[in-house]
Amino acid sequence: MKSIFLLLAIAFAGFTATAQNDKKSDPPKRIDEARLYWVVILLRGPQRDQDSTALSNIQKGHVRFIDSLYLKGKIKVAGPFDDKSNWEELFILDAATKDEAEKMLQQDPAIKAKRLVYELHPWYTMPTGSFRPGKPRG
């Protein structure tokens, strides 16, 4: 779980630096090289009455699911929200199509249990740094 938080912090720092640079200059000249990703917002789902044992199993399965997608290079950044809102987590998927992204999401034990539901939004960025295609390095 610490690795997910670290990834979120690194990606946010990179985004902040890029955003600051963009304010001072023209838009990137390589915009045609931008790549499609999918922003996933996990929200509280309708089934939140699981007992403690079921909840523990769902959460462990959810974390394993996120970790496995990260190790496959499919999740580029992920992390939970801490503001007690309806938004639980955010992550960015590397998937060619919305259909592919949804097929991945439907394998999440927390989504299967309806403890979480998701919003899925197309998003483009340059394929560098954390968003380089493929498995993570290091």
Q: What are 40-88's pLDDT values in tens digits?
A: 999 999 999 999 999 999 999 999 999 999 999 999 999 999 998 999 9
- Predicted pLDDT of residue 138: 63
Percentage of the residues of the chain whose pLDDT score is greater than 90? 64
Buried b (16+ CB within 10 A) or exposed e, 18-53: eeeeeeeeeeeeeeeeeeebbebbbeeeeeeeeeee
Question: How much is the average pLDDT of 115-122?
Answer: 97
Q: How far is CA 76 from CA 27, 60, 128, in A?
A: 23, 20, 11
Question: pLDDT for 24-45, tens place per residue?
Answer: 445 455 667 899 999 999 999 9
pLDDT of 15 > 70? The answer is no
Lowest mean pLDDT among 10-14, 110-114, 133-137: 10-14
* Residue whose tokens read 């259909």: 99
pLDDT of 23 > 60? The answer is no
pLDDT of 20 > 70? The answer is no
What are the structural domain ranges in the chain?
A: 2-25+34-128
Give the contacts of 63 (CB within 8 A, at least 6 positions apart). Answer: 1
pLDDT of 135 > 90? The answer is no
pTM over 0.95: no
CATH architecture of the domain 2-25+34-128 equals 2-Layer Sandwich (3.30)
Residue 109's Cβ-count burial label (10 Å; 0-12, 13-18, 19+) is middle
